[in-house]
Amino acid sequence: MKSLLNSSLLYLIKQILWQAPVDVISAVGFKGLFLLFQISSIWIMISWVSGNMLPAVKGIIQLNDSSYVYLAVGWLLLIAASASSLLSRWLALRGVGKLEQYVGDRAGGSVILVSDYRNLTKVMLGVIDAIVPFVFITCVLVAWIIVQPGLIFPIVMLVILVGFLFRKGIVFSAEKFENKGEKVKPEEYLGSTQHKSFKQILMVSQYISLVVYALIATGIVGVLVIIDSLGSLHTIGLLPVATAIALLQFKSFISLLVRLGAYVDSVLKVSEVLKNA
């Protein structure tokens, strides 16, 4: 597992960046636009409902706060977000396709199975999807440190804790996805060990989400309580909102974590084949 995090996965990330830099960068860019359009749309709609439109938006459109034009703008932004997400996935798949072709050219024969190609695609898509949330979360943490320098130690400890949990989560996921039961006949499947194991696999991401979200949410509330007790809560502006949004982005990491645990064997195999080719 240490090899996966420190060598094999990083090696494959470098390979896809080398084989398809434009596709990967464009996919990440459109993923960022998806997040930006989505947040902007929701913010505009909430502002319209509250009857107090955002000054920046009102300055551009120059209509009263109750105008339905703002709702139309929010609607268009949601559609733009969906289109950006679609383009991001299409570009990511094209980039992964170039990596697959590179693997096929280097591997030769039947060393790499069809399932390995599929698992490689799932993992690399998870990596690309996690880049924007990673950058966004990093920016939020840096903003906290700038606004409240005294939080640097708790934030560093939080990052270390999340990194530790990420590694443990991959191990937990890999253990759950490991095939422990023998194949059974259809009439014997219901109630069998294999059946129960499959149900547990479907719950893996929920278990991990519960632990990660609970710890991070507790940390956020604790930090806000400390800042409030110091009488400086007013200096952090929209950071709590940005932090809440950042918290929601952890879903991408949880998805990646589960995929790494499930497809670790394919990642290690592809990486070794490329290195030895």
Mean pLDDT of the chain: 80
- 45 near 38, Cβ under 8 Å? no
> Which of 14-18, 70-74, 245-249 comes out lowest in average pLDDT?
245-249
For 92-145, write each residue's pLDDT tens digit. 999 999 999 999 888 876 688 888 888 899 899 989 988 988 888 888 888 888
At 76, is the pLDDT very low, low, confident or very high (cuts 50, 70, 90)? very high
Mean pLDDT, residues 46-58: 79
Tell me the range of 15-24, 62-71, 200-209 where mean pLDDT is highest.
15-24
- 146 near 122, Cβ under 8 Å? no
Q: In Å, how far are 22, 208, 255 from 173, measured between CA atoms? A: 32, 9, 11
What is the pTM (predicted TM-score) of this model? 0.78
* Residue-level pLDDT at 258: 80
At 87, is the pLDDT very low, low, confident or very high (cuts 50, 70, 90)? very high
At 7, is the pLDDT very low, low, confident or very high (cuts 50, 70, 90)? confident
For 139-152, write each residue's pLDDT tens digit. 888 888 888 787 78
Both tokens assigned to 118:
């599929």
Neighbours of 25 (CB within 10 A): 14
* Residue-level pLDDT at 252: 76
* Residue-level pLDDT at 28: 94
